[in-house]
C-alpha cells in the first residue's frame, strides 16, 4: 500500500521507473502496484532464479527486470531469463557489474539500459579491473575490444585486500 501511495505522488515527475519498491517475491503486490501506477516498475536485483523471474513476469506483470548475472547463475542463466522476458515483451535493465553486463545487454533485443557506476559511487570500482569502461560524451558506453567478456582483474590494485 505504501508503494502505491508513493508511486501516485511521484507520477507527476514522470520517473523512468520505480525500482525495487517491494520484496521480489511479493508477486501479488507487484501486480497491484503495476496496475495502480503509470510508472514502470523495475525489479529483480534480489531475485536469484529463472523461476522467480517467470513469476515476476506472469504473476507480477513487471515491465522491467533488473537481472544480475552474478547472482542469478551466470551468463547462460541470465540469457535464459532475458529470452523468457523477451517472449513477454519485458525489458532487461541489468543490475550490477557493468563490465559483465555490457556485452549481455548489447546482445539483447529487449536490452533497455546499462547500469553504470562511476568512481564517485565506489572509489575501488575503477581500479579492480585492468580494462574499465568509460562513459562517452553522448551517454553511451562502448564494450571493451579485448578478447572474451573483457574482464581481467587488476591484481596489483586488489593485493592490499588479499586474505590468506
Q: Residue 35: what pLDDT?
A: 97
Mean of all residue pLDDT scores within the chain: 92
77: cell is 542463466
Where do the domains of the chain lie, and which CATH numbers do they carry?
2-115 (3.20.20.120), 117-164 (no CATH)
Residue 136 scores a pLDDT above 80:
yes
- Which active-site residues does the annotation give? 95
The mean per-residue pLDDT over the stretch 55-80 comes to 96
Q: What are the CA-CA distances from residue 37 to residues 10, 21, 31, 134 (Å)?
A: 9, 12, 10, 35
Q: What one-character-per-residue DSSP string does 97-129 give? A: -HHHHHHHHHT-TTB-------TTT-TTTTTSB
Contacts of 139 (CB under 8 A, 6+ apart): none
Sorting pLDDT into bands at 50, 70 and 90, what band is 156? very high
Sorting pLDDT into bands at 50, 70 and 90, what band is 61? very high
Could you report the per-residue pLDDT of 10-51, keeping only the tens digit for each?
A: 999 999 999 999 999 999 999 999 999 999 999 999 999 999
* Other beta carbons within 10 Å of 73: 16
Residue 64 near residue 90 (C-beta atoms within 8 A)? yes
Angle at 25 between CA 24 and CA 29, to 5 degrees: 85
What's the pTM? 0.88
Q: Residue 83: what pLDDT?
A: 98
Tally the C-alpha atoms within 13 A of residue 85's C-alpha that lie toward its C-beta. 31
Q: Residue 132: what pLDDT?
A: 78
Amino acid at each position: 500500500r505504501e508503494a502505491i501511495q508513493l508511486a501516485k505522488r511521484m507520477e507527476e515527475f514522470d520517473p523512468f521507473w520505480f525500482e525495487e519498491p517491494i520484496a521480489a517475491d511479493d508477486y501479488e503486490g507487484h501486480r497491484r502496484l503495476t496496475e495502480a501506477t503509470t510508472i514502470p516498475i523495475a525489479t529483480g536485483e534480489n531475485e536469484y532464479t529463472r523461476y522467480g523471474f517467470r513469476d515476476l513476469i506472469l504473476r507480477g506483470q513487471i515491465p522491467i527486470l533488473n537481472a544480475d548475472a552474478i547472482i542469478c547463475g551466470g551468463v547462460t542463466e541470465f540469457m535464459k531469463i532475458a529470452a523468457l522476458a523477451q517472449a513477454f515483451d519485458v525489458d532487461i535493465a541489468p543490475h550490477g557489474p557493468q563490465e559483465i553486463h555490457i556485452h549481455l545487454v548489447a546482445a539483447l533485443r529487449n536490452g533497455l539500459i546499462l547500469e553504470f557506476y562511476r568512481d564517485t559511487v565506489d572509489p575501488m570500482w575503477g581500479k579492480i579491473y585492468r580494462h574499465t569502461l568509460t562513459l562517452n560524451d553522448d551517454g553511451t558506453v562502448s564494450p571493451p575490444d579485448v578478447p572474451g567478456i573483457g574482464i581481467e582483474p587488476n591484481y596489483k590494485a586488489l593485493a592490499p585486500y588479499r586474505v590468506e
